[in-house]
Amino acid sequence: MEACDGRDAKVSSQKSVRNMKPGDEVYGIITDVMDSKALVAVVPISDDKRIRFSPGDTAALRVQDIADRYVKFVKDEFRVGDLIRARVVSTTNGIDLTTQGSSDYGVIKAFCSKCRNVLVLKENKLMCRDCERPETRKLSKYYLVTGE
């Protein structure tokens, strides 16, 4: 009982991740995709731009919070392993994310669902160079790998 008084909370670097609040921007890796939500391992985007990864900080991104347009299934926009940029909307019942409302948010790096090669962004379309297959995602303007 007395070990839980929280006095040491401020000196633990682990706590910085759990201090996320609505409005904070995060990077995340999609770890699970269901019809109605994705689970995302999140990393806060700090002022010094360094990424501190703390495994176990899982957030939820619901299908209705993905895009400003209607999205039927999460898998139409995100796949497991994709790297995304998102914003925290709530921390009251776990961490909830959104990728709505700004072209900042969405996938910044994605992988071919067939061969797992990184997808290249060319003329606003994502493409696997090896499979020559187009794929669709909710794209961020910060998408990292662009074609020539």
* Exposure of 66 in the CB half-sphere (CA atoms within 13 A): 27
- Phi then psi dihedrals of residue 60, to 5 deg: -115, 140
Choosing from 15, 18, 52, 114, the residue that interacts with Zn ion (CB under 5 A) is: 114
- Please give the backbone phi and psi of residue 4, each rounded to the nearest 5 degrees, phi first: -100, 25
Q: Are 79 and 31 in contact (CB under 8 A)?
A: no
- The verdict on 33 binding Zn ion (CB under 5 A) reads no
What minimum distance in Å lies between the beta carbon of 135 and Zn ion?
A: 9
Using rule CB under 5 A, residue 9 touches Zn ion: no
The nearer residue to Zn ion, 29 or 131, going by C-beta atoms, is 131
Q: What is the DSSP-derived secondary structure letter of residue 10?
A: G
Task: Examine residue 63 and tell whether it contacts Zn ion (CB under 5 A).
Answer: no
Give the nearer residue to Zn ion in terms of CB position, either 27 or 78: 78
DSSP letters along 78-131, please? --TT-EEEEEEEE-BTBEEEE--S-TTSEEEE-B-TTT-PBPEEETTEEE-TTT
For Zn ion, the binding residues in 118-147 under the rule CB under 5 A are 128, 130-131
> Judged by CB, which is closer to Zn ion: 9, or 115?
115
Contact 64, 50 (CB under 8 A): no
Q: How far is the CB of 143 from Zn ion (least distance, A)?
A: 17
Is 115 or 144 the residue whose CB approaches Zn ion more closely? 115
Write out the binding residues for Zn ion, residues 73-112 only, by CB under 5 A.
112
Residue numbers at the binding site for Zn ion (CB under 5 A): 112, 114-115, 117, 128, 130-131
